[in-house]
């Protein structure tokens, strides 16, 4: 048996403690499968005295994670601190410069500095593995880096944030408001006290940036992703979607187009019986469309101590077996510059909800604004939702705004946004119109050039 692989683990929160439990509980299993022992030789965290449920007395403690990263007694530095900058970045850089392999679950760090870190790893011929950074226990990174390495990926999309998926699923199943379900998610620990990073779509955008780089062989460009969150989704939108045979999901979508890469995070209406619509609760789902393998959907837990620790451990096992790949599959010297597709050129159908004042000529003015931009309307319905829905709809004789839902035929993002801006400026509506994309999935279609 080879000499033991010695780990230094920085960050002993939910995932770090979960990893310690896994390594202890699965020790004999791992030793037998890998052919060498995996030993935790050093640890670092904010608080030493905290009980993590594992005996740490025989493991060397480091107050400074950078010192742990540089320690000659470890071969693999496992960064579970989190954050795009600060000590996490400094420690990972120190480890790579010292010739240590690095395993991280830090999506923010990779989205902001992934290419520079990959260059360091390649320069020092060490691994930079990050399976746990995207979609928790779902092996999407390995799928892109290994299983699909002979394919050209056309599109990658999915549900990448369990908090948002839990909120939208519960709003749909229980006819409750966003604010009400968010409070419940916070009480269950699914959402932070400040949930902006999750519900605003930024967590999804970090993960999508990493997936897009892997899928398309480009440099990571988090700042090029268009981001919308779910804060404006109402019960009226959920109800309208259900009536039309859709449900609303927060999707991260990255796809190759003729003009560049279209990468966006936004609420979307997806067919109610599509595979992605069935991904509910805190579960994540990632779909990949490639030219030879066709369409894949990977579904599983996107967070949590056990599933994320499992993903971290799989990266450690790869290193123990001597498997070292270019972090972003394509060597950094060959990564293409990221060319952003013009988001206004995106084509698709749209759901538009308007709160229209009961005044003569209102609907005619709205139709004209749509016609000015050559937007064809498939249907227009005045909705009268349940009376319990606040501020939505009313009988016309009450004088309060009425909820009107439009479904368009295929048009461009630029056209629909221009029409909505004009309608709002006309003063015919009482609030900012709600616009939600109706997403084309074509889940069972074989991509061009592939055998179907």
Nearest of 346, 313, 88, 111 to residue 214 by alpha carbon? 111
What angle, rounded to 10 degrees, do the helices at 362-372 and 413-426 form?
A: 150
Q: Which of 89, 100, 207, 428 is catalytic?
A: 207
Q: How many CB atoms lie within 10 A of CB 317?
A: 16
d(CA 222, CA 148): 23
48 is catalytic: no
Pairing of strands 260-271, 283-290: unpaired
- The catalytic site residues sit at 207
């Amino acid at each position: 048996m080879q000499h033991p692989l010695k780990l230094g683990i920085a960050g002993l929160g939910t995932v770090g403690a979960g990893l310690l439990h896994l390594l202890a509980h699965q020790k004999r299993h791992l030793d037998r499968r890998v052919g060498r022992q995996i030993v935790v030789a050093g640890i670092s965290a904010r608080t030493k005295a905290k009980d993590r449920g594992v005996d740490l007395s025989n493991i060397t403690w480091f107050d400074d994670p950078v010192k742990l990263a540089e320690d000659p007694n470890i071969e693999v530095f496992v960064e579970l601190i989190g954050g795009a900058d600060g000590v996490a970045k400094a420690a990972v850089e120190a480890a790579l410069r010292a010739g240590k392999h690095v395993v991280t679950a830090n999506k923010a760090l990779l989205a902001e500095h992934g290419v520079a870190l990959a260059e360091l790893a390649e320069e020092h011929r060490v691994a930079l593995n990050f399976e746990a950074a995207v979609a928790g226990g779902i092996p999407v990174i390995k799928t892109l880096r290994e299983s699909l390495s002979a394919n050209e990926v056309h599109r990658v999309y999915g549900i990448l944030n369990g908090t948002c998926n839990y909120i939208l699923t519960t709003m749909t199943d229980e006819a409750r408001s966003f604010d009400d379900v968010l409070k419940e998610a916070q009480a269950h620990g699914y959402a932070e006290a400040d949930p902006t990073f999750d519900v605003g779509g930024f967590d999804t955008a970090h993960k999508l940036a990493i997936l897009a780089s892997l899928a398309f062989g480009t440099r990571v460009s988090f700042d090029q992703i268009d981001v919308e969150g779910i804060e404006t989704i109402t019960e009226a939108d959920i109800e309208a979607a259900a009536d039309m045979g859709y449900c609303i999901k927060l999707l991260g979508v990255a796809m190759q187009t003729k003009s560049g890469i279209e990468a966006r995070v936004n609420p979307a209406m997806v067919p109610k019986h599509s595979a992605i619509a069935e991904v509910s609760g805190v579960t994540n789902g990632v779909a990949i469309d490639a030219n030879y393998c066709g369409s894949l959907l990977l579904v599983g837990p996107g967070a949590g101590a056990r599933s994320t620790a499992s993903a971290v451990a799989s990266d450690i096992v790869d290193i123990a077996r001597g498997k070292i790949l270019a972090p972003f599959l394509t060597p950094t010297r060959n990564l293409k510059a990221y060319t952003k597709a013009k988001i206004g050129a995106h084509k698709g159908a749209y759901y538009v909800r308007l709160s229209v004042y009961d005044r003569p000529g209102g609907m005619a003015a709205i139709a004209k604004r749509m016609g000015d931009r050559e937007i064809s309307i498939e249907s227009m319905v005045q909705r009268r939702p349940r009376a319990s829905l606040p501020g939505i709809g009313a009988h016309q004789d009450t004088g309060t705004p009425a909820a009107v839902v439009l479904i368009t035929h295929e048009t461009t993002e630029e056209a629909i946004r221009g029409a909505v801006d004009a309608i709002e400026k006309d003063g015919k509506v009482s609030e900012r119109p709600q616009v939600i994309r109706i997403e084309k999935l074509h889940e069972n279609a074989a991509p061009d050039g592939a055998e179907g």
